[in-house]
Chains A and B, each alone.
Chain A
Amino acid sequence: MILDGKAPTGPIETAWDRYRFETKLVNPANKRKYKILMVGTGLAGGAGAATLGELGYNVESFCYQDSPRRAHSIAAQGGINAAKNYPNDADSIRRLFYDTVKGGDFRSREADVWRLSQVSNNIIDQCVAQGVPFARDYAGYLDTRSFGGAQVSRTFYARGQTGQQLLLGAYSALSRQIKAGTVKMHTRREMLDLVVVDGVARGITVRNLVTGEVESHWGDAVCLATGGYINVFYLSTNAMGCSVTANWKAVKKGAYFANPCYTQIHPTCIPVAGEYQSKLTLMSESLRNDGRIWVPKKAGDKRPANEIPEDERDYYLETKYPAFGNLVPRDVASRNAKQMTDANRGVGASGLAVYLDYRDAIGRVGENTIKERYGNLFDMYEKITDDNAYKQPMRIYPAPHYCMGGLWVDYNLQSNVPGLFVLGEANFSVHGANRLGASALMQGLSDGYFVIPYTIGGYLQTVIPGEVKTDHPAFKESIAQVEEQSKKLLSINGKRTVLEFHRDLGKILWDNVGMARSKESLNKALQEIPQLREEFWKNVKVTGSGNELNQQLENAGRVADFLEFAEVLTLDALNREESCGGHFRVESQTAEGEAMRDDENFTYAAAWEYKGEGKAPELHKEPLKFENIHLAQRSYK
C-alpha cells in the first residue's frame, strides 16, 4: 500500500499557516468533554499534556517513573536548535530546514521539517517565559553555540543540562495543569497494550508498577510520546527503562513502524569498561566545538597520549573534512571512528576508543573558559573514568544513542490507526535517516507545544466524546491479554535471567546491525534473533509474582518486545540496500568509503505492518518528494 503523508500542497513557506486556518476547530465549550490519553511525560508528552490541558481538554497522562520530571529528555545535554539568527550569522527558517533535510540524508518529509523549523523560534520564547535559565552573554542576551551538521551558531543551551532545563520547564507547565485539575497524572504506570475498537484507538491498558494491578483507561484519542527504542542494543545512552514496548504494542494492534533501521550511533560516548556495564554515558556533542579528535598514525601505537608527538597524530576528521572538521554529523564521525579502530589505531586498554583532545583549546582560551563551557561534562567524565580530561585527552567511542525511526505518522502526527497520535522520538517524522544534534529537543517541544494542540482538534471534532468507554468488551480482552503475558513470563522459571537475554540481543545487533551493515551480517542476525527469542520463552527466569512491585517482570516484558522488534529492525536494514545517514550498508559506499544513497529505488519511508506471530511483516511505502531542496549526495568536505 502507498501511504499518504497528508502534507499540505502548495508553497511550503505557508503550508502550516494555511493548515491551521483550514482545520476545523473544536468548540471551546466542548473541549472538556473530550478525554485525551497522553502516554509519556518527556518533552513531547509533557509539553503536549500541559498545552492540551490548558486548552481545556480533559487529559490523562502516564509515565513509568515516579515523576513526570524523570523522563529521559532530562538527560539531554548539548542544546536545542532554533532559527532565531541572534548571532546574525545568516541563519533562517529556510537554512534550518535545509540543514535538517540534508542532515537527515534526504529521507524525511519536507513539509514536516519546514513546520519544525518555523516553530523552532516560538519554542525558545516559550521556554524563556517559563523561566528556563538558558546561557546568556554579559549583556544579558541569549547565548548560542555551534553543533554538528551546521555552519551557523543556532544551538541554545543551559550549561550541560539543556534537556533537564527544558523538561523542567514543560514539567512546571504540566504541574500547573495538574493543580488546575485539567490533567490527571498517573505515575509508575507502564502501558502494555493499546485498545483498538473497529480500527480506531480507544484507550490503553497499563500495569500499576507498585501494586501490579492491570488497569485500562478509555480516551477519545491516544497520544504516544514514549521515546526511543535504542535500548534494543542493550548498551546505549538511554535510560534503563526506555523501551519499544508502548510502540510495539501499538504495532501489534495495527500501527505501522517506519524506518526502524535508522538508528543513530553517537560518536562521543565514554567507552565500555567491562562485562557488567549496564549503560553508556554520552559526552555531549558540544564538546566537539573545542575538542580535537585524533588517533596515532601508527597502528598498534600503545604510548600514552602525551608521549605521542604532534606529527605522529592523525586528526582524521580535520584532514578528511576540511569544511566541517570535527563538527561533521554524527553518522560520519562515528563511522570514521570505527574505521580507525578497525585499522587497529584505536586507543585505551580495549583499543576501542579515539582521543578527544582539549590541549589546544586550553592553550587557546585557557582552562577556566573550558571549565565554564564544559565543566560538568569533564566532572562527569572523571567520575566515571577517574581520568582528568584537562590533563589528558578524553577517550571516546561511538554508542547507540537515538532512533530516527518510529511509528509512522502523517502531517497531523496521526498514525495509520485513527485516533492514535505519536509525538517526539517515538514517531519517525522529521529526522530522516540521521538526526542532527540539538534537533530532537526541538522536535519534542514542537510536537508537544505547537503541533499536536492544533492537529488533534481536527480529528476530535469528527468523533463523539466518550463514545466508547472501559465497559466495552475490548478493554476486558486487553486486560486479560496483558495478565496472560505476565503469567506466562512468571511460569517459565528457566535458567537464564532477563538481563542475560537482553545482553545477548544487544551483542547480536551491535555486531551485525551496528555501524556497518552487510547482507551477510543482517542475514546472520535474522537467524540468531528468532533463536534467542525462542530460547527466551523457554528458558527465562522471572522471580516474584505479578501482583506486586516486580522489576524483573517489567524488564522481561520489555525484552520480550525488543526480541520481536529487533527482527523488524533488521529486516528493514536488509531491505534498504543503500547507505543513508545512520544506516550504512557496506555494499553501497563511494570510492572514499562515504555513504552512498540510491535515490532511484529508496526515496521512500518504509512502514512495516505486523502480520502476526511467525508471519513476515508487510512493507508499505510512503514516497518522499523533494520540491524545495534538490536531492544531492551529502558532502561535508
Chain B
Amino acid sequence: MDLTLHVWRQKGPKDTGKLETYKVTGVDSDQSFLEMLDVLNEDLIKANKEPVVFDHDCREGICGMCSQVINGRPHGPHEETTVCQLHMRRFKDGDEIFVEPWRAKAFPIIKDLIVDRSALEKIMQAGGYVSCRTGGTPDANTHPIGKPIADYAMDAAECIGCGACVAGCPNSSAMLYTSAKVAQLAVQPQGKVEAKARVKNMTDAMQAEGFGNCTNHLECQASCPKGISVKFIAKLNREYLKTIAG
C-alpha cells in the first residue's frame, strides 16, 4: 500500500519543530509501523537527508521505549498495542498518517519523535519500591498471598513505563503510571508497611515534575498499551484517603 506520512521533525529542544510530509510506497501489511519507518529512513539516508529519529528497543511491546502519537492516538489506533507491535494491516492504501511525539510539559522533546521521560524516573525514585535489603528476607512462601490479590498486583505491575497515559491525558497527568505502582505494592503484605509514605511521596513527586492533576478524564486507560485500568487510580485515591485518616 502507499501512504502519506506527516512526521514531526524537530532538530533539538530549542528548535520549534514542524510536520514534514513524506510519501511511502509499497508498504507490506505484515510490516510493523517501526519497520515501515525504517524503510522511510533508509530512503532518506540514501537521499542524503536526515533520517527520522524515534525511540525503540525491544520491538516486542515490553520495554516501553517506543513512543509515538499516531493520528492523535498514543501508540496508534489499535487498542492495547505499542507502536512497535502495531502492524500496517491496521491501515489502508492511501491513508494520511500523522506521527507526533508525546506532548507534555514534563516530557521535553529531545529530537524529532524522541522525548525526555526522566520525570517518570523521579516518581519511581520517590517511593516505587519496598525498602528491603538484599539478603535479609524470609522464605518466599512465608506469607501466602491469595491468588486474587496476586493477580490484581500483576495487573497493575504490567505497566511498561512508556508514558502514553501522560501523552493521552488532557491534563498531562501521570496518575495512571503512578497509581499502577502504588496499587501493586499497596495490596501485597510486603508493600503495606510503607504504603502511606509511598502514596504521598509519589504523588508529590508527580506534581513536582510538572505533570498535571487527574480530573478523571479516563483517557489514560484508553491510551495504555497494557490496558492498565483506572481502577488503580481509584485505589491510589483510597490509599491517599487513608493517610488523611492518619
B116 close to A278 (CB less than 8 A): no
Stretch among B28-36, B168-176, B238-246 lining the A interface: B28-36
B135 close to A165 (CB less than 8 A): no
Given A240-B59, A281-B60, A129 contacting B190 (CB threshold 8 A): yes
Question: Which residues of A from 97 to 129 have beta carbons under 8 Å from B?
Answer: 122, 124-129
A276 close to B31 (CB less than 8 A): yes
Interface status of A133 (Cβ within 8 A of chain B): yes
A125 close to B138 (CB less than 8 A): yes
Given A141-B144, A179-B126, A130 contacting B50 (CB threshold 8 A): no
B152 to chain A, nearest CB (A): 8
Given A72-B57, A276-B31, A172 contacting B62 (CB threshold 8 A): no
Question: Which residues of B from 97 to 133 have beta carbons under 8 Å from A?
Answer: 110-111, 114, 116-118, 120-121, 124-126, 128-133
B124 close to A173 (CB less than 8 A): no
Q: Which residues of A contact B125 (CB under 8 A)?
A: 175-176, 178-179
B147 close to A544 (CB less than 8 A): no
Report the Cα distance A541→B28, complex, angstroms: 26
B58 close to A136 (CB less than 8 A): no
Report the Cα distance A86→B141, complex, angstroms: 9
| Contact mask for chain A residues 366-408; partner B; CB cutoff 8 A; 1 contact, 0 none | 0000000000000010011010000000000000000000000
The one of B51, B62, B153 that contacts A75, using a Cβ cutoff of 8 Å: B62
| Contact mask for chain A residues 257-286; partner B; CB cutoff 8 A; 1 contact, 0 none | 000000000000000011011110110000
B177 to chain A, nearest CB (A): 12
Interface status of A490 (Cβ within 8 A of chain B): no
Given A129-B190, A279-B59, A549-B114, A67 contacting B121 (CB threshold 8 A): yes
Given A128-B190, A240-B59, A241-B57, A175 contacting B140 (CB threshold 8 A): no
A74 close to B58 (CB less than 8 A): yes
Report the Cα distance A559→B36, complex, angstroms: 21
A133 close to B63 (CB less than 8 A): no
B131 close to A176 (CB less than 8 A): yes
A126 close to B49 (CB less than 8 A): no
A131 close to B153 (CB less than 8 A): yes
The one of A129, A164, A185, A279 that contacts B62, using a Cβ cutoff of 8 Å: A164
B61 close to A278 (CB less than 8 A): no
B137 close to A126 (CB less than 8 A): yes
Interface status of A84 (Cβ within 8 A of chain B): yes
Given A70-B57, A140-B145, A273 contacting B30 (CB threshold 8 A): yes
For chain B, the count of residues having a C-beta within 8 Å of the partner chain is 74
Give the nearest-CB partner of B29 in chain A. A386
Report the Cα distance A50→B108, complex, angstroms: 28
Interface status of A589 (Cβ within 8 A of chain B): no
A386 close to B28 (CB less than 8 A): no
Report the Cα distance A386→B56, complex, angstroms: 22
B147 close to A276 (CB less than 8 A): no
Q: Which residues of A contact B151 (CB under 8 A)?
A: 133
Interface status of A532 (Cβ within 8 A of chain B): no
Report the Cα distance A51→B132, complex, angstroms: 11
A161 close to B62 (CB less than 8 A): yes
Report the Cα distance A127→B138, complex, angstroms: 11
A497 close to B45 (CB less than 8 A): yes
A543 close to B50 (CB less than 8 A): yes
Interface status of A69 (Cβ within 8 A of chain B): yes
Report the Cα distance A261→B85, complex, angstroms: 31
Question: Which residues of B from 131 to 167 have beta carbons under 8 Å from A?
Answer: 131-135, 137-141, 144-147, 150-151, 153-154, 157-158, 160-161
Give the nearest-CB partner of B153 in chain A. A133
A130 close to B45 (CB less than 8 A): no
Report the Cα distance A132→B145, complex, angstroms: 12
The one of B111, B130, B188 that contacts A172, using a Cβ cutoff of 8 Å: B130
Q: Which residues of B contact A278 (CB under 8 A)?
A: 32, 34-35, 38, 59
A65 close to B65 (CB less than 8 A): yes
A159 close to B154 (CB less than 8 A): yes
A70 close to B188 (CB less than 8 A): no
Given A67-B117, A134-B150, A50 contacting B134 (CB threshold 8 A): yes
B188 to chain A, nearest CB (A): 5
Q: Which residues of B contact A449 (CB under 8 A)?
A: 134-135
Report the Cα distance A86→B153, complex, angstroms: 22
B117 close to A136 (CB less than 8 A): no
Q: List 8 A-B contacts (CB under 8 A).
A: A51-B134, A75-B58, A133-B150, A133-B151, A161-B158, A187-B121, A277-B35, A449-B135
Question: Hey, which bits of chain B sit against chain A, CB under 8 A?
Answer: 12, 28, 30-32, 34-36, 38-39, 42, 45-46, 48-51, 53, 55-65, 81, 85, 87, 89, 110-111, 114, 116-118, 120-121, 124-126, 128-135, 137-141, 144-147, 150-151, 153-154, 157-158, 160-161, 184-185, 188, 190-191
Question: Hey, which bits of chain A sit against chain B, CB under 8 A?
Answer: 47, 50-51, 54, 65-67, 69-70, 72, 74-75, 84, 86, 122, 124-142, 158-159, 161, 164-165, 168, 171-173, 175-176, 178-179, 185, 187, 210, 239-241, 273-274, 276-279, 281-282, 380, 383-384, 386, 449-450, 453, 497, 499-500, 541, 543-544, 548-552
Across the A-B interface, give the 9 residue pairs with the lowest CB-CB distance, nearest first: A140-B144, A172-B129, A129-B137, A133-B153, A133-B154, A128-B140, A179-B125, A129-B132, A239-B57
